[in-house]
Amino acid sequence: MFKNKIKNICCIGAGYVGGPTMAVIAYKCPDLVINVVDKNLERIEAWNSLELSKLPIYEPGLDKIIQKCRGKNLHFSTKLKESIETADIIFISVNTPTKTKGLGAGYACDLKWVESSAREIAIYSQGHTIVVEKSTLPVKTAETIKNILHSSEGYKSENISKPNRKTYSIISNPEFLAEGTAIKDLINPDRVLIGGEDDESIEIISNIYKRWVDENKIISTNLWSSELSKLVSNAFLAQRISSVNSISAICEMTGANIIEVTRAVGTDSRIGDKFLNPGPGFGGSCFKKDILNLVYLCRYYGLEEVANYWEQIIKINLWQQQRISKLVIKNLFGTLSNKKIAIFGFSFKANTNDTRESPSINISKDLIEESAVLAIYDPQVSKGQILKEISSEKNNENIHICKSPIEASKDADAVIVLTEWDEFLSLDWEFIFKEMRQPAWVFDTRVCLNKKLLKKIGFKVWSLGSN
């Protein structure tokens, strides 16, 4: 279908995936012109900000690539129509959250943003266009996209001569980057997955990645395997975390130590030692929604036992967060009234400013419910974002956002480490101890601090997965 070389790429959605992914493609393929479009003007303005610290996403290494490519072959704008019109390839990289109402609410994926993207493509695209699903989607979404595209006027009309007729190829190319390591993951991925129905389009998309990814790492499948593999990958990863977190509770009961157990278990090469870190439960925008999506799919096909199996991962995750809140309350004499608690870290993991589904949200809310005053510090999450997640008219006075860990912990009864930011490892804990109200507690939910040292200083220490 493509007589001429691929030149123009459009990406709909300038979020955590669209922005970094397109930046890396632009960086590796200087001959391609990449237009990243979003309907959110504020976000686009932030992507175009001259001060690189004001990019909408904090991601190590991203600023350097943006500096190199932006304005050359990488453009951020709200010009949806123009960018679609000229595009040979369009990546759909919009949000796909869990539906909050209607059929399948609480489980199914809300496809309204994908649908609106497909409708825009149907209107504005010209000639042959490869439409790539970059968002994580329920199996069979490609069918929906195809239906919308094939209903477009230009596609249907028999009167339109061939070069002017709209035609489409749908490709599934899910993204596996993790936040905080997005650039590293994009530059050196474990694999690139490309699912499709026609070999030419699969090859065109493969050829883009082949510029920097080893050919052996590029896997091509049919559309449905590709869509399903993305959901399953996230389900397997989340399953490991819920497994290790469930074992952390047994360790606390029995005198075993979760770090020793995961080391012993993870050295079995069949199991592997990655993704076995215990913590306050997984956060992030995707694990929960993608498992819920898988659960919905199982129930849709009448696979109730399979659905229940995967749903348990989410139940354990919530249970882990709740048990941490309860432990803090229990250790602080059963009440948090008139107590100040310093929260160290609000993002869902280190090296990102993303707070979506962060365990810090539920745990903070539980503590406020017990009348605690929270002093929250995170090196990357803005004050406004933290307040948006947890504040209400009722609890405003109980929440203070601090500029440093020292400020947060002054006169506090306890410090709870909820995100494993590096800077927490090298704090002057002796100074912090002296400034806190006694008895001073540290709750280390990431098992990242030196427990022995803290105890020597005089802290009472609770560290996840050991006693």
Would you tell me which residues interact with ligand UGA (CB under 6 A)?
A: 136, 175-179, 234, 237, 241, 275-277, 279, 282-284, 286-287, 348-349
What is the nearest approach in angstroms of ligand NAD to the Cβ of residue 38? 4
- The beta-strand segments (E) located in 351-401 are 373-377, 399-401
> How deeply is 443 buried, as exposed, middle or buried, from its count of CB atoms within 10 A (0-12, 13-18, 19+)?
buried
Q: How many residues bind ligand NAD (CB under 6 A)?
A: 26
Cβ neighbors of 11 (< 8 A, separation 6 or more) are 18, 21, 22, 34, 35, 36, 37, 90, 91, 93, 134
In this structure, what DSSP letter does residue 37 have? E
- Which residue lies nearer to ligand UGA by CB, 99 or 446? 446
Could you tell which of ligand NAD, ligand UGA, none binds residue 234, using a CB distance below 5 to 8 A set by kind? ligand UGA
The terminus-to-terminus CA distance of the chain in angstroms comes to: 65
Least distance (Å) between residue 184 CB and ligand NAD = 13
Instruction: Retrieve residue 58's tokens.
Output: 């904090």
**11, 12, 74, 258: which one binds ligand NAD (CB under 6 A):** 12
Residue nearest to ligand NAD (CB): 15
Would you count residue 17 as binding ligand NAD (CB under 6 A)? yes
Q: Which residue of 94, 145, 193, 412 would you call a contact of ligand NAD, by CB under 6 A?
A: 94
Host H or E run for residue 150: helix 141-150
Residue 169 or 173 having the CB closest to ligand UGA = 173
Question: Given candidates 9, 11, 14, 204, which one binds ligand NAD under the rule CB under 6 A?
Answer: 14
Return the range that interacts with ligand NAD (CB under 6 A); candidates 64-72, 91-99, 339-347, 397-405. Answer: 91-99
Partners of 416 in the β-ladder: 343, 443
Q: How many whole angstroms separate alpha carbon 83 and alpha carbon 8?
A: 9
Give the DSSP letter of residue 332: T
Question: 286 an active-site residue?
Answer: yes
Q: Hey, CA dihedral for 315, 281, 347, 437, is it positive or negative?
A: positive
Q: Tell me how far, at minimum, the Cβ of 152 lies from ligand UGA, in Å.
A: 30
Residues 171-210 as x/- pattern, contact with ligand NAD by CB under 6 A: ----x-x-x-------------------------------
Could you tell which of ligand NAD, ligand UGA, none binds residue 275, using a CB distance below 5 to 8 A set by kind?
ligand UGA
The two structure tokens encoding residue 203: 């090859």
The residue annotated as part of the active site, out of 11, 29, 286, 448, is: 286
User: What, of ligand NAD, ligand UGA, none, does residue 113 touch, CB below 5 to 8 Å by kind?
Assistant: ligand NAD
- Contacts of residue 416, defined as CB under 8 A and 6 or more positions apart, other chains included, come to 328, 341, 342, 343, 344, 363, 442, 443, 445
Q: Contact between 252 and ligand NAD (CB under 6 A)?
A: no
Taking the least distance from each CB to ligand NAD, the nearer of 19 and 465 is 19
398 burial class (0-12, 13-18, 19+ CB within 10 angstroms)? Answer: buried
Confirm or reject binding of residue 113 to ligand NAD (CB under 6 A).
yes
DSSP sequence for 48-85: T-SSGGGSSS--TTHHHHHHHHBTTTEEEES-HHHHHH
Cβ proximity to ligand UGA: between 12 and 182 the closer is 182
Q: Binding to ligand NAD by residue 36, rule CB under 6 A? A: no
Residue (237 or 265) nearer to ligand NAD, CB: 237
* 16 vs 351: CA distance, rounded Å: 13
The C-alpha atoms of residue 253 and residue 436 are separated, in whole angstroms, by 29
- What is the closest distance, in whole angstroms, from the C-beta atom of residue 93 to ligand UGA in the complex? 12
| Active-site residue set | 286
Residue numbers of the site for ligand NAD (CB under 6 A)?
Answer: 12-18, 37-40, 43, 93-96, 113, 116-117, 135-136, 175, 177, 179, 285-286
